[in-house]
Amino acid sequence: MNWSALIIAVIQVVFFVLLAPLLIGVMRQVRAKLEGRVGAGIWQPWRDLRKLLVKDPVRAEDSSWLQRAAPVTLLVSSLLLCVLFPLVGAMTVTLIPGDLFVVVSVLLIGVVALALVGLDSGTAFGGMGSSRHMMVAALVEPTLLLAVYALSIPTNSSTLAIIVETRLETPAVILSPVSMLAMVALIIAIMAETGRLPVDNPSTHLEVTMLHEAMLLESSGRDLAWLELGSSLKLAALLGLVANLLVPWGIATTSSALAVIIGLVAIAVKVLLLGGLLAAGEVFLAKVRLFRVPELVAGSFALSFLAVTASYLIA
Amino acid sequence: MSVKRLAGLIRRTGQIAEPSPPAPELFEGAAVLGGSAHVRYIDAGGGNDCGSEIAAAFGPVYDVERYGGHLAASPRHADVLLVTGAVTQNLAEPLRRTVEATSTPRFVIAVGDSAINGGVFAQGYGVAGAVSDFVTVDLEVPGSPPEPAEIVAALRRMTGR
Amino acid sequence: MTAVTAGLAAQLVLALLSSVLTFSVPARARSRVSGISCALISTAGAATGALALAGGRGSLTIPLALPVDPLTLSPDRLGGLFMLVASAVGILVSVYGISYAHGPSASRTSWAALAFFLVGMQLVPAAADAMSFLLMWEVMALASTALLLADHAHGRQVSSATVWYSAMSQLSFLLLLGGFTVLSAAAESTSFSAMRAVSSQSPTASIVFVILILGFGSKAGLVPLHVWLPRAHPEAPSHISAAMSAAMVKMGVYGALLVCIRLLPDGPAWWGVLLLILGGISAMYGILQAAVASDVKKLLAYSTTENVGLIFLGLGASMLLRSYDATAAADVAIIAALFLVVSHAAFKAPLFLGAGSILHATGERNLDRLGGLGRRMPWTGAAFGIASLGAAALPITSGFVAEWMLLQGLIHGARVDGELVSLPVSIAMPLAVAVIALTAGLALLTFVKAYGIAFLARPRSPAAASAHEVPALMRIAPLIGAVAILALGLLPGPVAVALASAIGPEAVMNVRTIGLAGVGLPSIGALLDPVGLLIAAALVAIPVLTIIVVTSKRHPQRVAKLVWGGGGERNNPRMQYTATSYAEPLLRVFDDVLQPSRDVQVTHVDESRYLVQRIKVEQRVSDRVETGLYRPVLSFADRIGVLARRLQNGSIHRYLGYSFAALLVVLVAVSL
């Protein structure tokens, strides 16, 4: 039993629970400043979360136990992602390595939980959000799997922690064309999966333009708090993964206290920087038409497929 | 010009929002919101003048978001309901349902004279009454229409910032 | 007389006994007695299969009154596995049928046919030579045709479906007969052990392979020979649909495995490529059609095509890798294919039985008219929900473990010790991974739709609103299936070792039980421990649940009468999304493949063309393979038939002329 890896995993989860609302706050603040506003401050999402926990949730009498259980499922799946991803440390816990299919499946549990919340709301908007969200998820899954597969070929292992460790040891791999193609495909897939522009506008109020927000319209109180926290944790974890794949320096490969502290600081800086860049990019983007999203996702699929075949033919 | 002033000017480059006036006192019972007030806007039948002022309040010049206000997409997400306009016959029941659908603790703010007492539309055949005839109103913002600064002040009473 | 022999004999005896009982007991007790006796047939089958899988040997020889070799039944480990799978499904189907069978499906013919269907299906994997195999195959096919006809008085679809089914069934029989004939001629014996002597590299072997794969693929439901599946499975009584989909198509898979592993092992690489292509196309086409289907049984039938496609994908990948000596990955791929077989049987049976419960409770098969069943039928909803999770391959279910193993085999197959295996493999493996990923994503959408629209939110029709929970036996059968899905998903290690033993002793070295009943693949360096994952999830869930318990005391929920639908007056359940609307974005994205046809008819008011009285919109997604391939072939055959009628114009002079010409031809031929 790899106790040090287990402790690092626990530290990762706790740290990311604190970091995720902060990430959303930083992203909103960057957008606000670029739009000329003052903004609510980087701690506002934490205030929102605290307020949601003290409100009484309202549930319709036609809804089922899913309204209570599915938000918790989404949150647990996002927390599990923080355990499996190599964020602070690149060490695998015995018996639960962050294998590519396992990780994608855990991600999809959260996706399914959210879709079921949307369907259970019993309104037209909930079903609409659920349908669009599942369509995008179905089309994004091949890209995610193939992109991680392409990244795993040079290391001969599909465990994410080992992939990151190999990239740390031989930095030349990061700049190889295969890796660049796979990273671009992965970034597009992650933007589609987490509902950022240009796939979905997270701050829209027009229901007909919503993909992910429409599923949340019926939830209130702590249900909404878990859904929001679960979504922001997913975004933070995925951005952390991308950051560690692109710039692996700083990640802890030993279990000394100094390495862990450096790992914490490094991942915080990387995630917040990447989030800020994403928010700055979003200011200049508009949401694309729903039926252009499959074209975008198909393009990223083509890139990741190219990456995989190229890695066999070149290397 | 001192370095500090120069740094302040650079920091505020591109900022369109006006500097904030002093904070008003906290509304009784709003402490539970803890500085975060999600707002659902309901137009119960008015002439959209108050609506435009509310839109200006959420815009970059007055920027109510810096005090913790945020427009919500659904009353289930909201803490504060901003109601404008004299309540018409068709909107009476939906207004009640919207307030019912909001999770407690919640606050209702009637914005504009038409919402408070019917204003110039009070005797109209399509008007069913003022907002307070249908739901309990916690705060009123008089004016026809009120200035965005007054709307911002009312919301700042909810968030306490 | 070993235990296996006794088990085989017991199944035959029980089948005969069951049909005798069916015809003799009074109608009131018929379902119960027949159901129990059919369950006993399957129990005997399960016991025999388990013993054979564990290594037990036994042989039963029955001389027949026909001029053929006696019936020889001697299951090996692989046969034992498939007997076990088919029997397990048979037990669930029989138990469910006791309560479900009503009207024509509770008649003497149906129950007797079920007994023969079960015994035929269970003994196909036990056959030790070609004649016994074909005999049991035909018993299975004929009995299932009789079962399919049960509801034919209800409408034309049933008889039409039966015609398609029996035509395709006999087509597959003819192909199998042809293939086995050629193989027996080459091996000079009909026994399977002798057929191993035929070299797999010879052209005869390739011809036999193609013919047999087409024959078995038709029964298994591979595109383009799948057209009977979406017609026959929805029209059969629900417990028969479950048996056909979860167990009978496995016999097609068993046949393919028989050919690829036992009869003609180590074939050329293009065999594997052929299976890969057939499997990949079936998987993608099947799940696309399932995703846009609104009839729940049609959705489940197409989902069977998808899963069979994945199984053949795994089989093909394994053969391809083995022909390039990547044996470790090849073994993993074939074990994964077997795991897919077991997992599919485990989740398809409860899904069809659940659909049967829905049909029983509401009279509706159309998802667009269901809804809110989760509150009215909680047990059925739970079983259907867990089975849907298994079909969508989500963690802690059997489907997840199976797809994980298949992906591991494919990913590690293209490179052995860091060296590229070969160019075709380097292209085939990424394509296969892409196909699996795409079908997994679409399967997710399909089953979220199936479960969510049927069981969640509010009922969309009065029939759904008046639904009630089904009787106890109809609840237990799907629940047992759901428990099996979870057991297979949480304890994959021992299961994988047992499956590996069915392939052969070398395959067992590639699988190991590790940790908490997890599965390890030491030869390629991968491991999966679902129990560990579950424990990790439980540990991270504890703080969340604590917070919930604390806050729910201080801030309890408030129950509102209405959902938030904009606060308007029109809030009726018909405004919810239906299954058709749920899949509509996907239909648009894939409209080149599915080619839906839409028809809009607008009726104007008599007085004015500017006012509309009624609008009728009709959308239909038909099976493109049927319209593009079968209908032209059938109309061509029709035209040939019409032309041939000209030969028979009624003139006696012409008929005499034919006889004279034939006599001339014979005289000439004899003198040469």
Q: Decide: A224 and A216 in contact? Cβ < 8 Å.
A: yes
In the predicted model, is pLDDT for residue A309 greater than 90? no
Predicted confidence band of residue C1 (pLDDT cuts 50, 70, 90): confident
A contact chains, 3+ CB pairs < 8 A: B, C
For residues C124 and C80, what is the distance between their CA atoms, to the nearest angstrom? 10
Query: In terms of DSSP H, where are the helices of C510-626?
Result: 530-554, 579-589, 591-594, 624-625
Query: For an interface test with A, which of B41, B61, B76 has the most A Cβ atoms less than 10 Å from its Cβ?
Result: B76
The fold for domain B26-159 equals: Rossmann fold (3.40.50)
Q: What is the pLDDT of residue C143?
A: 95
| SS3 (DSSP) at C513 | strand
**Neighbouring residues of C410: CB distance < 8 A, sequence distance ≥ 6:** C317, C329, C333, C429, C432, C433, C436
Q: Which residues of B touch C566 (CB under 8 A)?
A: 94
Q: Decide: C357 and C370 in contact? Cβ < 8 Å.
A: no
Q: Decide: B79 and B38 in contact? Cβ < 8 Å.
A: yes
Between B74, B95, B104, which is nearest C564 by CB? B74
For C653, the token pair is 């002079």
CB contact under 8 A, A141 and C414: no
Task: Taking residues C175-200, report their average pLDDT.
Answer: 89
* Measured CA angle at A82 (ends A76, A83), to 5 deg: 90
Task: Taking residues C452-477, report their average pLDDT.
Answer: 92
Distances in Å between the Cα of A107 and the Cα atoms of A38, A93, A231 are 35, 19, 11
Cross-strand pairs, C527: C520
For residue C282, which of C213, C346, C351, C329 has the smallest C-alpha distance?
C213
Are β-strands B37-43 and B139-141 bridged in parallel, bridged antiparallel, or unpaired? unpaired
In the predicted model, is pLDDT for residue B134 greater than 90? yes
User: Which helix (H) or strand (E) covers residue C364, if one does?
Assistant: none
For C345, the token pair is 């049987």
Q: Which residues of A touch C522 (CB under 8 A)?
A: none
* Measured CA angle at C537 (ends C555, A185), to 5 deg: 105
Model pLDDT for residues B56-114, shown as the tens digit of each residue = 999 999 999 999 999 999 999 999 999 999 999 999 999 999 999 999 899 999 999 99
For residue A230, which of A243, A215, A210, A245 has the smallest C-alpha distance?
A215
Model pLDDT for residues C534-552, shown as the tens digit of each residue = 999 999 999 999 999 999 9
b/e for C91-107, b at 16 or more Cβ within 10 A? bbbbbbbbbbbeebbbe
Q: Which residues of A touch B34 (CB under 8 A)?
A: 47, 50-51, 54
φ, ψ for residue C598, nearest 5 deg: -120, 140
Tell me, letter by letter, the H, E, C secondary structure of C307-355. HHHHHHHHHHHHHHHHHCCCHHHHHHHHHHHHHHHHHHHHHHHHHHHHH
Task: Taking residues B117-144, report their average pLDDT.
Answer: 91
**Neighbouring residues of A99: CB distance < 8 A, sequence distance ≥ 6:** A158, A159, A160, C404, C526, C528
For residues A85 and A99, what is the distance between their CA atoms, to the nearest angstrom? 9
**Neighbouring residues of A256: CB distance < 8 A, sequence distance ≥ 6:** none
For residues C65 and C80, what is the distance between their CA atoms, to the nearest angstrom? 27
Mean of the per-residue pLDDT values for chain C? Answer: 91
In the predicted model, is pLDDT for residue C376 greater than 70? yes
Structural domain that includes position A50: 3-314
Nearest CA in chain C to B99: C567
C contact chains, 3+ CB pairs < 8 A: A, B
User: Which helix (H) or strand (E) covers residue C260, if one does?
Assistant: none
Task: Taking residues C271-291, report their average pLDDT.
Answer: 95
Q: Which residues of C touch A135 (CB under 8 A)?
A: 445, 585-586, 589
Model pLDDT for residues C196-229, shown as the tens digit of each residue = 888 888 898 999 999 999 999 999 999 899 999 9
**Neighbouring residues of C380: CB distance < 8 A, sequence distance ≥ 6:** C354, C357, C358, C361, C373, C469, C470, C474, C475, C478
Q: What is the pLDDT of residue C340?
A: 96
φ, ψ for residue C518, nearest 5 deg: -85, 170
Q: Which residues of C touch B94 (CB under 8 A)?
A: 566-569
CB atoms within 10 A of CB A10: 15
In the predicted model, is pLDDT for residue A315 greater than 60? no
Q: Decide: C393 and C443 in contact? Cβ < 8 Å.
A: yes
φ, ψ for residue C109, nearest 5 deg: -60, -45
Quickly list DSSP for B13-80.
TT--SPPPPPPPPPPTTGGGGTT-EEEEEEE-S--SHHHHHHHHHTSTTT-GGGGTEEE-SSGGG-SE
Task: Taking residues C118-130, report their average pLDDT.
Answer: 93
Task: Taking residues C66-84, report their average pLDDT.
Answer: 90
Q: Which residues of B touch A58 (CB under 8 A)?
A: 76, 101-103
* Residue C669 contacts B where some CB pair is shorter than 8 Å: no
**Neighbouring residues of C443: CB distance < 8 A, sequence distance ≥ 6:** C287, C290, C303, C306, C391, C392, C393
Distance of CA C378 to the CA centre of its chain: 26
Number of separate domains in chain A:
1
Nearest CA in chain B to A210: B73
Domain spans in chain B, listed from the N-terminal domain onward: 26-159
Predicted confidence band of residue C418 (pLDDT cuts 50, 70, 90): low
Cross-strand pairs, B40: B81
Task: Taking residues C333-360, report their average pLDDT.
Answer: 96
Predicted confidence band of residue C15 (pLDDT cuts 50, 70, 90): very high
For residues C414 and C431, what is the distance between their CA atoms, to the nearest angstrom? 12
DSSP one-letter code for C363 = S
In the predicted model, is pLDDT for residue C327 greater than 80? yes
* Residue C569 contacts B where some CB pair is shorter than 8 Å: yes
Model pLDDT for residues A44-103, shown as the tens digit of each residue = 999 999 999 999 999 988 888 999 999 999 999 999 999 999 999 888 888 887 888 999
Adjacency order of strands within the sheet including B37-43: B69-71, B37-43, B80-84, B107-111, B139-141
Please enumerate, as own/partner, the contacts of C660-666 that have beta carbons within 8 Å and a separation of 24 or more: none
For B117, the token pair is 């007492």
How many helices (H) and strands (E) in chain C? 28, 10
For residues C11 and C223, what is the distance between their CA atoms, to the nearest angstrom? 34
Model pLDDT for residues A204-239, shown as the tens digit of each residue = 888 888 888 899 999 999 999 999 999 999 999 999
For residues C80 and C74, what is the distance between their CA atoms, to the nearest angstrom? 9
- Amino acid code (one letter) for C175: L
Please enumerate, as own/partner, the contacts of C493-497 that have beta carbons within 8 Å and a separation of 24 or more: C493/C517, C493/C518, C493/C519, C493/C520, C495/C339, C495/C342, C495/C519, C496/C335, C496/C339, C496/C401, C496/C405
Q: Decide: C267 and C204 in contact? Cβ < 8 Å.
A: no
How much is the CA Rg of chain C, to the nearest whole Å? 27
* Residue A204 contacts B where some CB pair is shorter than 8 Å: yes
For residue A135, which of A187, A199, A181 has the smallest C-alpha distance?
A199
For residues C121 and C144, what is the distance between their CA atoms, to the nearest angstrom? 10
Q: Decide: C68 and C128 in contact? Cβ < 8 Å.
A: no
Residue window 89-108, chain B: list those with CB within 8 Å of chain C.
93-95, 97-98, 100-101, 103-104
For residues A287 and A272, what is the distance between their CA atoms, to the nearest angstrom? 23
For residue C311, which of C276, C346, C286, C287 has the smallest C-alpha distance?
C276
**Neighbouring residues of A87: CB distance < 8 A, sequence distance ≥ 6:** A12, A16, A237, A240, A241, A244, A251, A267
Model pLDDT for residues A227-273, shown as the tens digit of each residue = 999 999 999 999 999 999 999 999 998 888 999 999 999 999 999 99
Q: What is the pLDDT of residue B16?
A: 87
Model pLDDT for residues C558-615, shown as the tens digit of each residue = 998 888 888 777 778 888 999 999 999 999 999 999 999 999 999 999 888 899 999 9
Calculate how close chain A gets to C313, using CA atoms only, in Å. 17
Q: Decide: A146 and A101 in contact? Cβ < 8 Å.
A: no
Label residue C36 exposed, middle or buried (CB < 10 Å: 0-12, 13-18, 19+). middle
Q: What is the pLDDT of residue C457?
A: 86
For residues C175 and C213, what is the distance between their CA atoms, to the nearest angstrom? 9
CB contact under 8 A, A57 and B102: no
Adjacency order of strands within the sheet including C518-521: C512-514, C518-521, C526-528
For residue A23, which of A281, A263, A195, A271 has the smallest C-alpha distance?
A271
For residues B116 and B87, what is the distance between their CA atoms, to the nearest angstrom? 10
For C457, the token pair is 């939110």
Task: Taking residues C490-500, report their average pLDDT.
Answer: 93
For residue C304, which of C361, C377, C245 has the smallest C-alpha distance?
C245
For A93, the token pair is 């816990």
Q: What is the pLDDT of residue A4?
A: 87
